[in-house]
Structure 1
């Protein structure tokens, strides 16, 4: 992930809403361009989601270690917390 401006959940929500509200273009060329860009968007989003999940896991383990949770128990439940609906 880049070192640019942090992404927020609110931004992702707003962009998702924009995609849902939009209508498809009419022309075949515009449709294939849209399909191509949406595929790129999907791949980028998956990468960001993986990075965020990994960072969340690391943060939770760090918090748990600071709270004295034994290493063998650190990170338990994180997968359920980040599971997609």
Structure 2
């Protein structure tokens, strides 16, 4: 569950990242493009890793930290 709060009650998120595991490369790109638009910071631009076909870490324009992980064929045994 997520909820908004009045400005005077808002505090910047710390100590966690919201993680999403899209089921396709197209879905990864769609989610990334929407959430990373005007990002506050990009800790890791979308790229291939040893565990995923596509992975990214960034903090959105509202200071919410995100991780996106699309395993693709690397998730298969």
Same fold (TM over 0.5): no
- Shorter chain as denominator, the TM-score bin is 0.3 to 0.5
Which is richer in strand? Answer: 2
TM value normalised by structure 2: 0.32
Q: Greater CA radius of gyration, 1 or 2? A: 1
TM value normalised by structure 1: 0.30
